[in-house]
Each structure stands twice: as structure tokens, then as C-alpha cells.
Amino acid sequence: MIINELNDDNWLFFAIQNYNNPTSVTYDDFEEDLKRFKYIKRLLRRYEMHGELKTHLILNHIIVLYNTFNDAATPLLFYKLDCKYWGTVKAFMEYLNRLPLGVDKSDIDDQCLKSLKLI
């Protein structure tokens, strides 16, 4: 399933199908992992409004998403985040070598990528 096929009705089902967290035993654990999408969105909004980029925190959330949702984290992220944040998210994916082939790299947030390369 690709991002064009995701919608509000099947996003959660797609997330459940691709969820792989051996330490998770309850639905509450799954919901906690889903909250990471909201946390990332909040951190990206703060970056947009105040110029405050918390690279380590965002990077940790994205790594956990990839650990729990594997490659499905990419379409899940792109669907949940507004397109105005995609350039910044692409910078994190580029840094983690998780940016899918064929994705337009022209809008990658260069300032964010420079910050990540300093880590």
C-alpha cells in the first residue's frame, strides 16, 4: 500500500497490519507508539513557527517508528504529516538512508540536513 491509497478509514488498519513490537502486550502500548506521529508533528510545527529544531528528539521518534512499523513508517508518516513538513521529514529519512527511491529530493530541508550531519 502506498501513500496515495491511505485515507482516514484505512490508515489505522494499515498501521495495525504493519505493527511489529515484541515488547508490546496491550492495545495501550500500540496507542503509545501511535502518539509518536503526533509528537513529531508538534515538534515540526515548533520548528516552523520558532525555528527551534530538536533534531535528537525527532530523530529518536522516527527511529522508534521504523523499529515498530518497519518500512510502513514512511507512508504512515507522510500521510499523517502536512505536506509543508515533508521537506524536513525527508531530511531525516535521507540521514537515516530511509528515503524511498524515486522520491523528489529537491525540497529537502537543507538546514535540517546540515544539523543532522553534525550529530
Q: At what angle do helices 110-117 and 55-69 cross, to 10 degrees?
A: 90
At 59 the pLDDT is 97
In total, how many domains does the chain have? 1
pLDDT in tens, 28-84: 999 999 999 999 999 999 999 999 999 999 999 999 999 999 999 999 999 999 999
Residue 2 has pLDDT above 70, yes or no: no
In a domain, 116, yes or no: no
Parent domain of 21: 3-87
In a domain, 112, yes or no: no
Q: Which of 79, 43, 40 is nearest to 61 (CA)?
A: 40
In a domain, 103, yes or no: no
